[in-house]
Amino acid sequence: MDASRSDVLILGGGVIGLACALYLLKSGATVRVLEQGTPGCGSSHGNCGTITPSHAAPLAMPGMLGVALRSMLRADAPLYLNPRFDGPRLRWLLGFARHCNWRDFEHAARARSAILQRSRGLLGSLVREEPLDCEFGEEGELYVYRTPQALEADERHHAQVLERLGVEVQRLKGDEVEAREPALKPGVAGGLFHPGDARLRPDRYAAELARRVMELGGAIETGARIDDFGLREGRIEHVRTTRGVFRSDRVVMALGAWSPLLGRSLGLRLPMQPGKGYSLTYTRPTRVPRHALVLREAAVCVTTWETGYRLGSTMEFSGYVEGLNRTRLDALRRGAAQGLHEPEGPQLLEEWWGWRPMSMDEVPIIGPSSRWSNLMFATAHGMLGVSMSAATGELVAALMRGGTPPIDPSPYAPARFGV
């Protein structure tokens, strides 16, 4: 028996790759995960850990391109487009601009909502049945507004879109929000509460998925950077890494923001860009929020767990530029200070940045490659990798088995981009 061979080889050990591994193992396949670092070390590690059917609406809508272009003048803008010239980023931006219309907005919102709602239900079941010790909570998520103008705009747009998609939104007055959340400073104009949202600690979730994958007989190769592919007659025959050569019948690309870089080795042009996010993790303040919060004007996400407290969000398009941007971290601190009595915990545990894998239409790329007969994609989940992870794993396993998928796979098909 060839120990380097498995039924399925999964490229990438973040929450998407690990969720795919878990569902494939449950379907009876043998699985090996290749991870260049350690499981969950990328965007799976430092995000806010919210599970959000409320985030079905994409960024791309009429007027958003102007917002992005104006952001080049403000390095601390919640959505920031670095003015440095970058050919691939410019091509992505032009593609993004083509999707800034209401028809594409509605299509993306429906596609995102279908997988978000499916995944929300699956995650609750996974956490309870496996079980996964990841500080899962189902308190919902509260959007907080300090100006009537921002509240009115979101009531007219955000809330109505979600309600059309079957996602519950509760409208709250300012005093109701303040009574529900004593951690907030006074002066709240109102809120939108999303009772179907949840939260977990993402690094614990990734670690628990990895544990279950190995308990079910899966292999995880850490420190396995992919060097090249062995290709023959339209198939991937093997994958060469720093940990050796691995072979399989099927390959799943779940590399997140690294997908377009590795895709070039396969002659693929994936229309993706890294959207850089930041977070600050603390020990818990005394007055912590009872719910996951989004401070809307500042675009700051606040998540509390039993073992910590995190401020996060922002979206920076700077290509594959590494490292912390102090201007962005300071904006998170200022935004939190505007809305919370105790915006920071007593001890700063981590300053973090990570790349979110953004497709130009903001719909994930899931399904078989139109170029390589044994390649399956599970990538481009944007800011929603944790939220979409369980349904992505389930869908990939169903497509590989050839059974009836639990949700319509056509909106996510790689063929829409010719890959």
> pLDDT per residue over 272-292, tens digit each?
999 999 999 999 999 999 999
Instruction: Give residue 2's pLDDT band: very low, low, confident or very high (50, 70, 90).
Output: low
Residue 1, pLDDT score = 40
Q: Is the pLDDT of residue 63 over 90?
A: no
Residue 82, pLDDT score = 81
Of 6, 7, 94, 22, nearest in space to 396 by CA: 22
Task: Please give the share of the chain, as a percent, with pLDDT higher than 70.
Answer: 98
Segment 342-385, tens digit of pLDDT = 999 999 999 999 999 999 999 999 999 999 999 999 999 999 99
Strand partners, 231: 236
Q: Is the pLDDT of residue 62 over 60?
A: yes
Instruction: Give residue 73's pLDDT band: very low, low, confident or very high (50, 70, 90).
Output: low
3-state secondary structure the chain: CCCCEEEEEEECCCHHHHHHHHHHHHCCCCEEEECCCCCCCCHHHHCCCEECHHHCCCCCCCCHHHHHHHHCCCCCCCEEECCCCCHHHHHHHHHHHHCCCHHHHHHHHHHHHHHHHHHHHHHHHHHHHCCCCCCCECCCEEEEECCHHHHHHHHHHHHHHHHHCCCCCEEEEHHHHHHHCCCECCCCCEEEEECCCEECCHHHHHHHHHHHHHHCCCEEECCCCEEEEEEECCEEEEEEECCEEEEEEEEEECCHHHHHHHHHHHCCCCCEEEEEEEEEEECCCCCCCCCEEEECCCCEEEEEECCEEEEEEEEEECCCCCCCCHHHHHHHHHHHHHHECCCCCCCEEEEEEEEEEEECCCCCEEEECCCCCCEEEEECCHHHHHHHHHHHHHHHHHHHHCCCCCCCCHHHCHHHHCC
Instruction: Give residue 3's pLDDT band: very low, low, confident or very high (50, 70, 90).
Output: low
Residue 41, pLDDT score = 85
Instruction: Give residue 414's pLDDT band: very low, low, confident or very high (50, 70, 90).
Output: very high
Of 46, 44, 51, nearest in space to 139 by CA: 51
Q: Is the pLDDT of residue 50 over 50?
A: yes
Instruction: Give residue 43's pLDDT band: very low, low, confident or very high (50, 70, 90).
Output: confident
**Mean per-residue pLDDT of the chain:** 94
User: Out of 1-5, 172-176, 222-226, which region has the weakest mean confidence (pLDDT)?
Assistant: 1-5
* Residue 297: Cβ-neighbour burial (10 angstroms; 0-12, 13-18, 19+): middle
Amino acid letter for position 192: L
Taking the C-alpha atoms of residue 128 and residue 118, their distance in angstroms, rounded to an integer, is: 16
Residue 129, pLDDT score = 95
Mean of pLDDT values over 5-17: 97
Domains of the chain: 5-417 (3.50.50.60)
Residue 350, pLDDT score = 96
